[in-house]
Amino acid sequence: MGNDRSGTGAETASGPGYALLLAAGPAGKQRLMDAAAALPQLAAVPPAALLGTPGGASVVQLVDPADPQTVLTHLRTAAAHPGPVLVHLAGQLTLDVKQRLPHLALARTTPRTARYTALPWHWLAAELGRRPPGSTVVVADLVADETAWPPLRAAGPSGLAAGLTLYGTVAPAPPKRGAPPRRGMATPEYSRAFAGLLRGAAERPPLALLHQRAALEAGLGSGPELLLDGVGPDEAYPAPDAAPGPEAAPGPEAAPGPEAAGWAGRTGPAGAAGPAGAAGSAGAVAVTAPRMPPGRPESFLPADPRPAPPSLRPPQPPHAPLPPPPRRAPVADPLAATHAAIFEAANSGRHSEAASMAAAWEQEALRTAGPRSDEAIHWLEVRADLSRIAGDPARACELWLAVAEARLGNGEPVGHPEVEGAVDRAHHQWQFVQDRARAGALAPPLLELRSRVPGRKPGALEAVRRRAELLRAPARTR
């Protein structure tokens, strides 16, 4: 059931990576997705490219496990790994009958036994959420059954992203057709596109850009599915190149509590008890599962409901607005109050709250206007600026690169001020990325964009080339 393989190459400062590829689903008619079809193409990706670690990586495949404790053991092995970790999930979500909490269905899962035979989603968040910020990514290609889809759609991406950096997609179950009605089986198109892009790339692109391209290639964004774009309500933004202290890498006693792992993405109280057992306790001994949320479960609507989405229109450019026509009052920006609330939270240090609000509005724009719309690009720009305010220049650079690619993909010329501005901002933020591994990973896409969009400041392209060469050189030891 496990299949290990290792990449080759010298160990880097970030160390070799670790990937867990999980494809699961119930047997028989209950299966909604051909989850195992995601693995052959992912397995064909070089391990170092899958993790973005030149020092190589170990990859473990887990196909149709029957026991949630087995999956928990593998998760704890991943959580204990010192280097970068990627967990890829393909399968289907369901709710348990008693507590109505999300579970990843496994081989023996039925609607009545999900609480005992499926993997509780909060186990995933509890085990991986204790790792240092920026070291762990979860990629999900999921289908939600009839019990899970309505509340998940209401909660939005934050319903699953609490405590996780989560990319991917969740779609409703395929409709039943024919007489007697039979349900079609979904295919992991996002995973295939994700793997195809990685196989064709010399180096792994920034995840925000990789996710956006995979969603476009898979034809996602215009349907009912949810796109998970890497921002969760509990996501932390570490200072660049800062060594994680006790707050950034909590021990088992400070791991995210059950309140932080429910559907709603609610933040648990300080000091809430986390899952029992240390991260490295995986093995042949009995595995203690993370605690179930206490008390009666609440609805998983967002804890801080966002205002009802008005007509989504991006704010006007920063130049002075034209005077209103005679005898007509100026038209107010319908999102003025929303923008004010988001940036007030960010400037007050409530970065997770601000990022969650912006991500929710971006999701609404993707659903109503499409991934290439001005509205969706606008919210991508807002998220980039929020990352700058939060002190995460690498994340800001990734998002500005995605903005530039989206605008160029829409046919905007390379000399358009919005395109030049996006590339200039990506370049500016990249200069402040102190972590060599992250700066090195961002260098190729930035260099490629700078060659197409040199901008109006002389020497910009050459400056990127010089720093990229320095980053490729071995680090000097003192």
For residue 311, pLDDT beyond 60: no
Q: What pLDDT does 395 receive?
A: 92
Quote the pTM value.
Answer: 0.55
Q: What pLDDT does 333 receive?
A: 54
Q: How far apart are CA 297 and CA 99, in angstroms?
A: 6
pLDDT: is 142 or 157 the higher one?
A: 142
Q: What pLDDT does 130 receive?
A: 83
What tokens appear for 452 in the block?
Answer: 């197409």
Sign of CA dihedral 94, 96, 102, 105: negative
Burial class (CB in 10 A: 0-12, 13-18, 19+), 71: buried
pLDDT: is 219 or 325 the higher one?
A: 219
- 3-state SS assignment for residue 111: coil
Q: How far apart are CA 86 and CA 41, in angstroms?
A: 16
What is the helix (H) or strand (E) element at residue 201, kind and residue range?
none
Which residues does residue 57 pair with via DSSP β-bridges, in sequence order?
A: 17
Q: How far apart are CA 395 and CA 158, in angstroms?
A: 18
Task: Give residue 103's pLDDT band: very low, low, confident or very high (50, 70, 90).
Answer: very high
Residue-wise pLDDT tens digits, 246-270 = 233 333 333 333 233 334 433 332 2
Q: State what percent of residues in the chain have pLDDT above 90.
A: 36
For residue 183, pLDDT beyond 80: no
Q: What pLDDT does 75 receive?
A: 94
Which single residue is written with the structure tokens 């850009």?
A: 209
Q: State what percent of residues in the chain have pLDDT above 70.
A: 73
For residue 170, pLDDT beyond 90: yes
Q: What pLDDT does 64 receive?
A: 92
Mean predicted confidence (pLDDT) in 290-304:
38
Q: What pLDDT does 442 receive?
A: 92
Residues in the chain: 478
For residue 203, pLDDT beyond 80: no
Omega cis (within 30) before 326: no
For residue 430, pLDDT beyond 90: yes
For residue 315, pLDDT beyond 50: no
- 3-state SS assignment for residue 339: helix
Q: What pLDDT does 7 receive?
A: 35
Mean predicted confidence (pLDDT) in 436-461:
90
What is the helix (H) or strand (E) element at residue 472, kind and residue range?
helix 460-472
Q: What pLDDT does 263 receive?
A: 44
For residue 78, pLDDT beyond 90: yes
For the ranges 17-26, 145-154, 234-243, 290-299, which has the lowest average pLDDT?
A: 234-243
349 neighbors 360 (Cβ within 8 angstroms)? no
For residue 25, pLDDT beyond 50: yes
Mean predicted confidence (pLDDT) in 32-44:
91
Q: What is the DSSP string of 448-467?
A: HHHHH---SSTTHHHHHHHH
Mean predicted confidence (pLDDT) in 148-159:
86
Task: Give residue 423's pLDDT band: very low, low, confident or very high (50, 70, 90).
Answer: very high
Mean predicted confidence (pLDDT) in 394-402:
93
Mean pLDDT, the chain, as a whole number? 75
Q: Residues 12, 16, 18, CA angle at the centre, nearest 5°?
A: 155
For residue 353, give the nearest of 402, 298, 400, 306 by alpha carbon.
306
Burial class (CB in 10 A: 0-12, 13-18, 19+), 465: middle
Q: How far apart are CA 70 and CA 56, in angstroms?
A: 25
Q: How far apart are CA 366 and CA 318, in angstroms?
A: 24
